Amino acid sequence: MTQPPLDVESSGRPRLAPKLGLFDATMMVMGGIVGAGVFMNPYVVAQRLHSPVLILSVWIAGGIIAILGSFIYAELGDRIPEVGGQYEYLRQSLHPVFGFLYGWALLLVIQTGGMAAVCVTFARYFLELTRLPCSEHWVIIVTLALLTAVNCLGVKPGGRFQSVLMVLKIAAIAALIGAGFFLVRAPKPVLHPVLDRPMSFNLLTALGAAMVPVLFSYGGWQTTNFIASEIRNARKNLGRALMIGVAAVVVLYVSVNIVCLRALGVTALAATSVPASSVMQIVAGERGARLIALGIAISTVGYLSQSVLTAPRVYFAMAEDGLFFRSVAYLTRKTRVPVVAIVLQSVWTVVIALSGKYEQILNFQAPIDFTFFGLSAACLFVLRHRERSHPTANPGFRVPGHPYTTLVFILSCWLIVANALWKYPRNSSIGFVIILIGLPVYALWQRRRQGKGTV
């Protein structure tokens, strides 16, 4: 789907408008990654690995993989700077069916399942902080309704709101890091022991299992590519935003884990499900714990705001291509945002959150997500091959070390999928069944498009 150069087509139909600058795009990248995971997931890794060096090693390794991914998506975004991001890369490079299946899985599971889990996390922290006499369900509904309304006002208000929340998130994480480095009176060692068991196959599988929550925590940077056509000078600014944003998050994540290990030690870290609160409890008592709880609440809202803003552009692109209900491609003339797509995603997120099934969905979300990560990175080989036949005078951004770095990223993604299939065959299989169900749905939309035109 090729975007016209103007905001309004010759037919007078409104188009998505490029209103986001480099700062907003960078905050969008960071906001898509940083949710509640940075405050919670360190304990999950500590339960699987029992050496501070190994724990920090997997967080650094996960960061390197995320940086490789940002390089790949920077080049993909430079080559195809269009609304829909990953959907467009798969559709244009491999086959339209791959793009559709990605959008299908994104709406049903990947995006909405993750958002539902984060909604519940926010509701719990919000009620704990405010002591309001209402249920989690009402907090979820009102929160999503407000975020939906803000992002329906236009991409610029939504982007600015997201930037403010991201700055507040960075402040909360910086407070945690500062407290952990300067206020811990009896720090635990973080450079020894190196190994928690002899070198063996068991150690390798433990490292693989620990990488799953790590890579899940680093996920989300790719969602900024969904709004490429709404970033000013996207060919330059999208790549910069990806690299700056992902690198900054790696620094924050590794620092948080150093602080958790320094304040709690491996054993205590593995024993608490709220490591950030435990660290702040040690250094600043109950007031510190409540302060970081506020930070976690802000962080979850920031993640939700970014998700409400970015992912609906995929459903919009699908509808533009005649592979979804035509109404989902509706843009208001004033705001030029896909309001129907935004509302659709929020409603489905509420359904999942209120059903209580979001935890089951998350169990098979990761294999689907990483399958499409690997496929999207593979698109780069197709695009590079086409370029050899039709060289361009302005090649733009190129992935350093390609094809080797690209292959490392693809292999890492698909090892995560293989590990999930091996360890959790039932849950992983459910995810791939959802993808397979999308095949006849795609065939139906194709028939309708060819027979009657778009609907």
What digits encode the pLDDT tens for the residues 108-151? 988 888 888 888 888 888 887 888 888 889 999 999 999 999 88
Before 403, cis peptide (omega within 30)? yes
Q: How many domains does the chain have?
A: 1
Does residue 5 lie within any of the structural domains?
no
Estimate to the nearest angstrom the gap between the alpha carbon of 183 and the chain centroid.
32
What pLDDT is stored for residue 15 in this prediction? 60
Tokens 């039709």 appear where?
390
In this predicted model, what pLDDT tens digit does every residue of 293-337 receive, in sequence order?
A: 888 888 888 888 888 888 898 999 999 888 888 888 888 777 778
In this predicted model, what pLDDT tens digit does every residue of 184-211 receive, in sequence order?
A: 887 887 777 777 666 767 777 778 778 8
Encoded tokens for 66: 């995320």
The CATH code of the domain that includes 367 is 1.20.1740.10
> CA-based angle 385:389:395, to the nearest 5?
75
Does residue 161 lie within any of the structural domains?
yes
Does residue 13 lie within any of the structural domains?
no
Q: How far is CA 136 from CA 128, 235, 303, 354, in A?
A: 11, 42, 18, 9
Does residue 7 lie within any of the structural domains?
no
Confidence of residue 9 (pLDDT cuts 50, 70, 90): very low
SS3 content of the chain, % helix, strand, coil (to 5): 75, 0, 20
Does residue 12 lie within any of the structural domains?
no
Does residue 437 lie within any of the structural domains?
yes
Does residue 8 lie within any of the structural domains?
no
Domain range for 267: 22-387+399-452
Euclidean distance between CA atoms 263 and 188, whole angstroms: 6
Does residue 6 lie within any of the structural domains?
no
Confidence of residue 93 (pLDDT cuts 50, 70, 90): very high
- 342 neighbors 147 (Cβ within 8 angstroms): no
Tokens 């490079």 appear where?
93
Neighbours of 390 (CB within 10 A): 6
SS3 string, 327-366, reads HHHCCCCCCCCCHHHHHHHHHHHHHHHHHCCHHHHHHHHH
